[in-house]
Structure 1
């Protein structure tokens, strides 16, 4: 058996939870996951947490 140190400290659980967003360009409200969220209706990245 081979092991090399402990698991590294990355908290991905928060990024995997869907959050509610609203597009500032077209007004569409949707759920998104991750850091670079884009509106599924108009493909704009000009979004905010709703």
Structure 2
């Protein structure tokens, strides 16, 4: 039961079963929530540069 996690994506709230070897998965889907997080960080860094 310790591998059931809640997605860390803002506004998502889905639960998923973490089957990763290290047990550190953070998002329900790398194509949805993880991609949004990466894009948000990228644009944040780009704005800070110029």
TM-score strictly above 0.5: no
Q: Which has the higher contact order (CA 8 A, sep 6+)?
A: 1
Between structure 1 and structure 2, the one with the greater Rg is 1
TM normalised by structure 2 equals 0.30
TM-score computed with the length of structure 1 as normaliser: 0.30
